Structure 1
Amino acid sequence: MKVTRHAASRRRRTRTGTRGLWTTAIAALAATGVVLCLVMVLRPDGGSDPGRTVAASAADTPSSTTQRTPSRSPSASPSPSTAPPTATPGASPSKSPAATPGARAAASKPARAASAEAPSAGRIRPGVTYRGLATHYDAADGNGACLFGPSDGLMIAAMNHTDYETSRACGAYIRVRAASGATVTVKITNECPLPCAPGQIDLSKQAFAKLGALSAGELSITWTLLSPSTSDTVAVRYKTGSTQYWCGIQVVGHRNPVARLEVRADGAWRALARTEFNYFLSEQGTGCGGAVRITDIYGEQLQLDGIPVRADVLQPTGVQFRQR
C-alpha cells in the first residue's frame, strides 16, 4: 500500500507538473501576443517595413543626373534654339587640328564655352569649329537677304537657313577652311534657303575660288566664327517708310554678331523683335527716333542716344564692339 500511495503521489506530481508547464506556455504565448499587438499599434506605418519603404522611395525618385541631364557625347548637338549646327556629314562642332588650346577646350565643351565667352550666342558660337559643305552662287553686287546693300568686296557668303537663325548670322565674319588647307574669310550677307543643310556655307564664286575650282561644285569644309580687326564703326539705318509711329532699325558694320537691339521708352529698355530681313521692328512706334542700345553675342552693349528717324539713310555712330 505504501508503494501504491507513493506511486499515486508521484503520478499526482506528474499531473501537477504537466498542468504547470501548460500554464507557463499559455502565459508565454499570451505575453508574446501582447507584445506583437503593441508593436503593431505603435508603428506609424501600420505594419510595413520601414527599411523597404525608404528603399522603394529611393528607387521611385529619379536621380537628378538621370532625369535632368541627358547623356550626350562632347560632339552631340544640342537643340536648335540654343545650339550649334546639328550633325549632317560633319556639321556638328568638333576640335579643329589648327585650333588654339582655348579653342579646343571650347569645342569639346560648347555649352560651357557659350555661357562663359558668349552669353548671348545663338547657334553659331565662338571658339567652336563647324563642319559642312561649301557651295557657290552668283553674288552679283553682294546684296542679299541681310539687306546690307551692295558690298565693297565680294568675299561674302550665304548662311544655311537653319544657322541663319532669323538673320542672327547677318554680319558675322567666318573663316572657311578646305581639306586642302586653303582658307578664306567671308562676311555673311545672305541666306541659303532649304535644302541647304546645317553647317553648309554658300560662298560667292569669288570666295569659293580661293578654296578650289568652281567646277568641283562643292567642297568639304570646316569654319569658325571670327572677331576681326576692322577700322569700320557701327552704323544705324532706319527702314524705308519708317516714321515716329512705325520703324524698322538695322545695325550695319558691326565687328561681332548682334544679339539684341533695344529702344528706350517710358523709362525702360524694350527689346524689338528681329525679322528675317535683318531689321528690328517697332510696329507701334515705340522708341522710334530715341535712344538705342545694341548688344553683341558677348554681352557688350553700345548705347546710342538720339538717333533720328531718317529712312534709308546710313547714320554712323563712331563706336564699335571690342575685338575678341
Structure 2
Amino acid sequence: MKATRHAGGRRRRTSTSTRGLWTTAIAALAATGVVLCLVMALRPDGGGDPGRTVAAPAADAPSSTARRTPTGSPSPSPSPSSAPPTATPGASPSKSPAASPGARSSASKPARAVAAEVPSAGRIRPGVAYRGLATHYDAADGDGACLFGPSDGLMIAAMNHTDYETSKACGAYIRVRAASGAAVTVKITNECPLPCAPGQIDLSKQAFAKLGALSAGELSVTWSLLSPSTSDTVAVRYKTGSTQYWCGIQVVGHRNPVARLEVRADGAWRSLSRTEFNYFLSEQGAGCGGALRITDIYGERLQLDGIPVRADVLQPTGVQFRQH
C-alpha cells in the first residue's frame, strides 16, 4: 500500500506539475498577445497594413499636390527659357498617354523674311535700336556719296563709315531720337567718313535742329530703321558712260534698303557687285539693258523687264516694295 501511494503520489505530482506548466505557458502567450496588441495600437499609423510604410511629411513641404500626367507621373515644371505654347488652328489635342499637359509645342511662329533669308541685308537691321552720337553738317542741296542728286527736302543724314557698309545704307529711312524725347525721321544720302564712329549719325543742320540747339554740337541718340509710307515708286538710273558693253545701275526711291540687284544674262540671274558710290556694276556688259531683279532687305523681289540703257536718266518703274 505504501508503494502504491508512493507511486500514485508521484503520478499525482507529475500530473499537477504538467498542468502547471501548461497554465504558465498559456498565460505567457496571452500576456505576449496583450503586449503586441498594445504595441500595434500605439503605432503612429493606427495599426494599418503591417507591410506599408508611411513617411511623415517634411516640415517645409508644400500642402498642394503635384499635377499629374495621364500616366500618373508628376508633370515637369516648364523651363523659364521655354517658348509659350502655340496653338495650331483646327488641330485636335493629342490623346497619347505619354503626352504631358506641361509639354511645349515644337511648332514655332514663322519668322519674318529678314537677314536669315537675305544675308546681304547688312549691318542695319529691322527691329534693332542703335546707340550713338548725332552731329551735324552743312548738307547744301542734299546730294552726297549715295549720288542720288539734289534732295527734295533736307531731312537727310550721313551714315558713319562702318554702318554705311559700301553704300548698303543708302536710301534707308531711320528714326533718330534724343534723350529729351525729341525725334526726327531722315533719309541716308551720304557717308560720314572716319573718324565717325559706329552708331554715329551726321545730320543735316535742319534735321539736327529738330533734336536740339546747333550750339550743342553733338547729342546722344538712339535710332532705328523705318519702312515709311510713301507715294514714290522705284526708279532705275544707268550711270554716265553706260553702254551695252559696260554699265552701272542705280536704284532710286525705294522704301526699304536694297540688298541685291541681279541682271538676266545667258538664261540665268547674275548678282552684280555694289560700289561705295551706290551703283551696281556689270563690267563685262552682262544684262545691260535687259531684265532686272531688285531685292530689298525683307526678301521681296521686284522684277523689271526691258529697262533700256539711257545714261544718267531716271527711269520710273511704277512699282514699290511693301511697307513693313
Q: Which amino acid aligns with 1:126?
A: P
Inter-partner Cα distance in structure 2 for 1:127 and 1:113: 12
Aligned counterpart, 1:147: 147
Aligned counterpart, 2:135: 135
Inter-partner Cα distance in structure 2 for 1:116 and 1:167: 20
**8 Å CA contact retained: 2:113, 2:298:** no
Aligned counterpart, 1:207: 207
Inter-partner Cα distance in structure 1 for 2:120 and 2:299: 6
**8 Å CA contact retained: 1:120, 1:259:** yes
2:270 aligned with 1:267: no
Q: What's the C-alpha RMSD, in Å, of the aligned pairs?
A: 1.6
Inter-partner Cα distance in structure 1 for 2:124 and 2:136: 21
- Deviation of residue 119 (structure 1)? 5.5
2:253 aligned with 1:253: yes
Q: Deviations over 1:135-169 (max 9, x none)?
A: 00000000000000000000000000000000000
Q: Deviations over 1:84-119 (max 9, x none)?
A: xxxxxxxxxxxxxxxxxxxxxxxxxxx999546866
Aligned counterpart, 1:298: 298
* Secondary structure of 1:195 counterpart: coil
Mark the runs of 5 or more structure 2 residues left unpaired by the alignment: 1-110
- Deviation of residue 254 (structure 1)? 0.1
Mark the runs of 5 or more structure 1 residues left unpaired by the alignment: 1-110
**8 Å CA contact retained: 1:132, 1:222:** yes
- Deviation of residue 121 (structure 1)? 2.2
* Secondary structure of 1:163 counterpart: helix
- Deviation of residue 124 (structure 1)? 0.4
Aligned counterpart, 2:177: 177
Aligned counterpart, 2:186: 186
* Secondary structure of 1:186 counterpart: strand
Aligned counterpart, 2:122: 122
**8 Å CA contact retained: 2:117, 2:299:** no
Counting matched residue pairs gives: 214
Aligned counterpart, 1:319: 319
Q: Deviations over 1:256-297 (max 9, x none)?
A: 000000000000000001000000000010000000000000
- Deviation of residue 120 (structure 1)? 4.5
**8 Å CA contact retained: 2:115, 2:125:** no
Inter-partner Cα distance in structure 1 for 2:156 and 2:172: 10
**8 Å CA contact retained: 1:291, 1:303:** yes
Aligned counterpart, 1:237: 237
Structure 1: which 4+ aligned runs deviate by more than 4 Å? 111-120
Q: Deviations over 1:200-243 (max 9, x none)?
A: 00000000000000000000000000000000000000000000
Inter-partner Cα distance in structure 2 for 1:268 and 1:117: 20
**8 Å CA contact retained: 2:114, 2:299:** no
Inter-partner Cα distance in structure 1 for 2:193 and 2:245: 33
Inter-partner Cα distance in structure 1 for 2:192 and 2:122: 18
Q: Which amino acid aligns with 1:160?
A: N
* Secondary structure of 1:215 counterpart: helix
**8 Å CA contact retained: 1:118, 1:125:** no
Which is higher, the Rg of structure 1 or of structure 2? 2
**8 Å CA contact retained: 2:115, 2:297:** no
* Secondary structure of 2:198 counterpart: coil
TM-score (norm 2): 0.64
Aligned counterpart, 1:221: 221
* Secondary structure of 2:127 counterpart: coil
* Secondary structure of 2:308 counterpart: coil
Inter-partner Cα distance in structure 2 for 1:117 and 1:187: 25
* Secondary structure of 2:215 counterpart: helix
**8 Å CA contact retained: 2:290, 2:306:** yes
Inter-partner Cα distance in structure 1 for 2:240 and 2:113: 39
Inter-partner Cα distance in structure 2 for 1:299 and 1:264: 18
